[in-house]
């Protein structure tokens, strides 16, 4: 195996001009971040002037970013940079809850929320979403879930809300859910992996006691990197210093991101702040896109009208085409890419999700046109094939 390693030096990325993958739309680096990536990409280069605490490094200005800029941006008391949203969720659960406690979370929660709870030794009580096509999460559902956990003789020490969820892009009423949780003296953790960096998110306004975000999903940073914020009451517990290593915080294992992910998060941040201010335009674009897709019988599920760039579509029309198309269920991925569009998972035709974030109107029209051309070309071919078969039958009948 160690004799033929050249393949690891030829790592090229096969990507189209327009990428609609929800995982990547909000993580595309700014020109400033790309330049910083080259400048600071070497190993621990960010630690040249570290005196023992990552978040206190002044050159580059990590201390100002973590302790002044991010708390203001997230509207919370304390913030730390993590390896991702999942690490932030686990740190909160592990520090605030005891093994066997219950965490209440929405039924649309990301799998990492469930794994974080499992790793922390917690029981999960779900708030089920409404039936399709809405898959909505309600405040009343949280009250009922907390009551169910109490009936199971459980101690509910944390609630989690996915805002929005990564399947349908639904944005529940976080403030109402927070109020319900607080009525039961349960803190709320807001998972903003698909919101922080894309849209305005203010922890205090939403009633979130703890908040996590994803730099590589939504803050134009190379990953993995995330942010973890908390109000003062819970920050004292989550960011508790070690009893033996005084300048290290236990839940973060001392230091977290020590290189390119953090430096690109910082370099992209001015652009991220600016684009958050254009969020309403992003919503308008998403709604227009959804309307155009539905003209082709591709049905958007979830919030209607939609309030986020991440959307989920049911596409029975494309699925029917896949039954006879060359390449079967992979035809959509291949033919979209031929038209300069990627990001829909290979093999998906009957249902898929995508994101319109940051795409210009002309680019969105190009994506719509790609879908339209594919559908029309296949349905035209299918009609032609049927007509040809009918003609052959007529000729056969004449000869007989």
Q: Which two tokens stand for residue 236?
A: 């004292």
Range of the domain at 59: 29-276
Instruction: Work out the pLDDT band at 246, boundaries 50, 70, 90.
Output: confident
Does any domain span residue 9? no
Strands 351-355 and 310-314: antiparallel
In a domain, 342, yes or no: yes
Per-residue confidence band for 390, with pLDDT thresholds at 50, 70 and 90: very low
- Alpha carbons within 13 angstroms on the beta-carbon side of residue 248 total 12
Assess if residue 79 is contained within a domain.
yes
With a pLDDT cut of 90, the percent of the chain lying above it is: 86
Q: What is the mean pLDDT of residues 42-59?
A: 90
Question: Does residue 229 sit in the same domain as residue 296?
Answer: no
Q: What is the pLDDT of residue 399?
A: 53
Pair 115, 138 in one domain = yes
Last residue of a domain, one of 276, 296, 325: 276
The answer to whether residues 146 and 285 belong to one domain is no
Residues 6+ apart with CB under 8 A from 67: 55, 79
Band of residue 397 on the pLDDT scale cut at 50, 70, 90? low
Quick check: is 151 in a domain? yes
Are 185 and 209 in a shared domain? Answer: yes
Co-location of 228 and 322 in the same domain: no
Q: What is the pLDDT of residue 386?
A: 54
Q: What is the mean pLDDT of residues 28-44?
A: 93
Q: 21-30, 36-45, 238-247, 385-394 — which is least confidently predicted?
A: 385-394
CATH number, position 295: 3.90.1150.10
Per-residue pLDDT averaged across 386-399, rounded?
51
The per-residue pLDDT for 387 is: 47
Q: Are residues 107 and 215 in the same domain?
A: yes
- Arithmetic mean of pLDDT, 160-164: 98
Same domain assignment for residues 159 and 69: yes
The pairing of beta strand 310-314 with beta strand 299-301 = antiparallel
Nearest to 314, CA basis, from 275, 274, 280, 348? 348
**Residue 384 confidence (pLDDT) above 70:** no
DSSP string, 267-334: HHHHHHHHHHTTHHHHHHHHHHHHHHHHTTT-EEESSSS--SSEEEEE-HHHHHHHTTSTTGGGHHHH
Q: What is the mean pLDDT of residues 219-237?
A: 97
Higher pLDDT, 6 or 186: 186
In a domain, 24, yes or no: no
Q: Residue range 231-243: average pLDDT?
A: 97
Q: 200-209 pLDDT, tens per residue?
A: 999 999 999 9
Reply yes or no on whether the pLDDT at 317 is more than 50: yes
Position 353 scores a pLDDT of: 98
pLDDT over 70 (residue 388): no
The CATH number linked to 180 is 3.40.640.10
Residues 231 and 334 in one domain: no
Instruction: Give me the DSSP letters along 325-380.
Output: STTGGGHHHHHHHHTTEE-SPTT--SEEEEE-TT--HHHHHHHHHHHHHHHHHHHH
Q: Is the residue at 23 inside a domain? A: no
Beta bridge partners of 106: 127
* End-of-domain residue from the set 276, 302, 327: 276
Query: How would residue 248 be classed by pLDDT, with cut points 50, 70 and 90?
Result: very high
**pLDDT score at 396:** 54
Strand segments, DSSP code E, in 163-304 are: 188-191, 210-214, 226-230, 299-301
Residue of 47 and 305 predicted with greater confidence: 305
| Mean predicted confidence (pLDDT) in 4-15 | 85
- 215 pLDDT band, cuts 50/70/90, is very high
C-alpha 385 chain-centroid distance: 42
The SS3 of residue 38 is helix
**Mean pLDDT of the 363-381 span:** 95
Stretch among 19-33, 93-107, 200-214, 369-383 having the lowest mean pLDDT: 369-383
Domain closes at, from 276, 291, 324 = 276
Residue 284 pLDDT > 70: yes
Are 205 and 220 part of one and the same domain? yes
- Do 62 and 126 share a structural domain? yes
8 located within any domain: no
**Total count of domains within the chain:** 2
**322 and 261 part of one domain:** no
Q: What pLDDT, on a 0 to 100 scale, did the predictor assign at position 395?
A: 54
For residues 242 and 291, membership in a common domain is answered with: no
Q: Is 183 part of any domain? A: yes
Per-residue pLDDT tens digits for 130-141: 999 999 999 999
């Amino acid at each position: 195996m160690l004799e033929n390693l050249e393949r690891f030096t030829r790592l090229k990325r096969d990507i189209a001009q327009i990428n609609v993958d929800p995982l990547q739309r909000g993580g595309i680096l700014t020109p400033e971040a790309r330049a910083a990536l080259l400048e600071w990409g070497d190993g621990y280069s960010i630690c040249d002037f570290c005196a023992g605490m990552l978040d206190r490094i002044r050159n580059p200005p990590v201390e100002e970013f973590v302790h002044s800029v991010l708390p203001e941006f997230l509207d919370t008391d304390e913030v730390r940079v993590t390896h991702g949203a999942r690490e932030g969720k686990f740190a909160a659960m592990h520090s605030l809850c005891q093994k066997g406690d219950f965490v209440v979370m929405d039924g649309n929660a990301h799998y990492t929320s469930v794994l974080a709870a499992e790793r922390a030794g917690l029981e999960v009580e779900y708030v089920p979403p409404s039936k399709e096509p809405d898959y909505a999460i309600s405040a009343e559902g949280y009250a009922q879930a907390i009551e169910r956990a109490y009936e199971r003789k459980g101690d509910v020490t944390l609630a989690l809300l996915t805002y929005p969820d990564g399947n349908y892009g639904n944005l529940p009423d976080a403030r109402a859910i927070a109020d319900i949780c607080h009525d039961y003296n349960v803190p709320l953790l807001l998972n903003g992996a698909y919101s922080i960096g894309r849209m305005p998110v203010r922890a205090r306004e939403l009633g979130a006691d703890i908040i996590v975000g994803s730099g590589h999903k939504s803050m134009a940073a190379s990953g993995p990197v995330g942010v973890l914020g908390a109000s003062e009451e819970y920050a004292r517990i989550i960011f508790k210093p070690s009893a033996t290593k005084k300048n290290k915080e236990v839940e973060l294992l001392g230091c977290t991101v020590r290189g390119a992910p953090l430096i690109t998060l910082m370099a992209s941040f001015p652009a991220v702040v600016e684009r958050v201010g254009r969020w309403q335009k992003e919503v308008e674009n998403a709604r227009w896109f959804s309307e155009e897709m539905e003209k082709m019988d591709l049905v958007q599920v979830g919030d209607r009208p939609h309030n986020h760039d991440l959307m989920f579509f049911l596409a029975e029309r494309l699925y029917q085409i896949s039954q006879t198309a060359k390449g079967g269920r992979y035809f959509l991925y291949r033919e979209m890419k031929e038209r300069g569009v990627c990001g829909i998972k290979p093999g998906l035709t009957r249902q898929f999700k995508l994101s319109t974030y940051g795409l210009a109107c002309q680019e969105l029209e190009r994506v719509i046109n790609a879908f339209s051309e594919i559908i029309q070309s296949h349905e035209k071919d299918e009609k032609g094939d049927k007509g040809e078969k009918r003609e052959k039958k007529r000729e056969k009948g004449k000869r007989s």
